[in-house]
Every structure is written in C-alpha cells, then in structure tokens.
Amino acid sequence: MTWFKRITLFSLTNIAVIFVLTIILRLTGLEQYLYNEFGMPIGFWLIIAVVLGFGGSFISLLLSKTLAIRSTGAHVIDQPRNEVERWLLGSVAAMARKANIATPDVAIYESPDMNAFATGASRNKSLVAVSTGLLQRMGRDEVEAVLGHEVAHVANGDMITMSLLQGVLNTFVIFFSRVIGFIVDKVVFKNERGFGIGYFITVIFAQIVLGILATIIVSAFSRWREYRADAGGAAYKSRGAMIGALEQLKAAHEPHDLPEQLKAFGINGGIGGGIKRLFASHPPIDERIAALQNPTR
C-alpha cells in the first residue's frame, strides 16, 4: 500500500467516524437536546476527538520502525556478515514472495528471550526482527516458522489495522468522556457557567473507565490476529514447524523482555490467568497449538 493510499485510508476512516457519530446524534435527537439544554459544543468536541484520537495512532505508526530499532538496539542487516544473516535474509525474502509483499528489512537484537516481532507503516515498508535467544535456542525449521508468522502479520496488514482500531477507540473515549463530564457537571454539580471542577474530575474518571474497555477490545483483536499469523507461519513453512516453535516457547518459562510498546507484536507475548486474559495481547500457547492441530474446528 503506497503512502498516498495509507494517508487516504486514515482520512476516510476519520471522516467515517465523524459521519457515523453525527448521524447517531442527529437521529436520536441527542445533539439538539444537549445543545439546547446545556450549550454543549458537540461538533467541536467531535472534531477534536477525531484529530487527537487518530493523530497519536498515525504518528506511532509512521515512527514504528524507527522506535522499534532504537528501543531494542536491533541491528538491521544491510550486508550479511555471516552465514546466519544470509540465511535469515534469504528465508524472509522467500516468504515475502509467497505473501506477495516487498521483502521486509531484517534485524537481529540482543536478548536471551526467545522472541521476534514485525512492525512498520505499510506492508511494503516493514521490519522483521528476531532475538539472539531465538536464533541460539531454536532449530532452523522452527525459526523459519517464526519468521513466517511475522511475515504473515505484515501481509495481513495487522499494524495498520491495529492503528485504525486504536484510533477509532481513542476517538470514542475522548469524545464520550467529555460528553459525560459535561452532563455530570451541569446536572449533578449544578454548574451553570463554563466548565466546573465536576467536569474535569468526571472526564478523568470516564477516560480511565472507557480506556480500560477500549484496551479489552484492542487486546481481543490482537489475540485473534495471532491465530491468523500462526496459520501464516504454518503455510509459509509447515504446520509441524510452527507447532514445534510454539511448544519451545511454552517450555521456555521465562520473562519476555520486549519493550512495552512492542509486546503486542512479538510472537511470545506471555499471558496471565483470570481477568488478565482480557488484557492479554496473545492467546495461551496451548490454545494456539490446538488451533493449528485442528484448523477446521
């Protein structure tokens, strides 16, 4: 996807969000009621919410490769220095051809953790990085399956989809927290002019609650895309190799030291039990293995 198409997609999504929210508010009569009763600047808040909601996601997407390289200290392989680096470049290039995308940049970063991640602002300007721990502790078939998993993330457009989803949810959180804050300030705190303390306290509280709900939604999508990427790794290498890689990750029992902003993009994201599952970016490895063993289930 070209930069022009990507920016156009972001713009059209912004317009769609504004359009849908405007239609809902108009059809329900809520916009007119809130303006007549409280003088609430619905239109202004809506525009601000979209700009802020999508602005952060768009900037993060554009800078994702640079930030990933700097935060992990990854070495991007321009000219292979040894046989391992030549093998990595060749494997990623072969899988990229199968996926019909441009070959991603390939990088290695120092870490005892068995992990890998993919990031980038587009399918044809992406990065696939693997840890030294993964290279040292997995066999080549399993490493290639992991590379296939990451190439599948790129081919599926997961980075842009996550950014769009996060942008939409950010917009709803920013907009509705202010609507709720305004109503509470006027109805509960009886403030008749401007924005009172009730508004600011309620906005902060509402943003926290709505932000938690948004995080649960993003995490659920992230878990779903991991199943798709596992299927991609199985298709680009083999099902047995992908299952073998996941079994080794399961057996590792170690902390996962990717930076916080990259954990959702690593193959080994870790997961907690109980309520923590709602916020996990990855499904339990047992469930991922079961999905590969029974693909039609």
Point out which residues pair with 126 in neighbouring strands. Answer: 120
The two tokens of residue 38 are: 């409280």
| Residue 103 CA: distances (Å) to CA of 96, 154, 241, 245, 267 | 5, 10, 22, 22, 19
| Residue 53 CA: distances (Å) to CA of 7, 159, 173, 180, 277 | 15, 16, 8, 17, 25
How many C-beta atoms surround the C-beta of residue 204 within 10 A? 11
Residue whose tokens read 């008749």 = 192
| Set 31, 142, 144, 150: catalytic member | 150
Annotated catalytic residue 254? no
Q: How far is CA 219 from the centre of its chain?
A: 8
Reported in sequence order, the residue ranges of the chain that DSSP labels E, i.e. its strands, are 75-76, 105-109, 116-122, 125-131
Q: In the 8-state DSSP scheme, what is residue 124?
A: T
Instruction: Report the C-alpha gap between 196 and 100 in whole angstroms.
Output: 56
Neighbour-count burial of 78, counting CB atoms closer than 10 A to its CB (0-12 exposed, 13-18 middle, 19+ buried): exposed
Q: Are 68 and 116 in contact (CB under 8 A)?
A: no
Instruction: Report the C-alpha gap between 105 and 125 in whole angstroms.
Output: 8
Please state at what angle helix 239-252 crosses helix 197-236, rounded to 10 degrees.
Answer: 130
Catalytic residues: 150
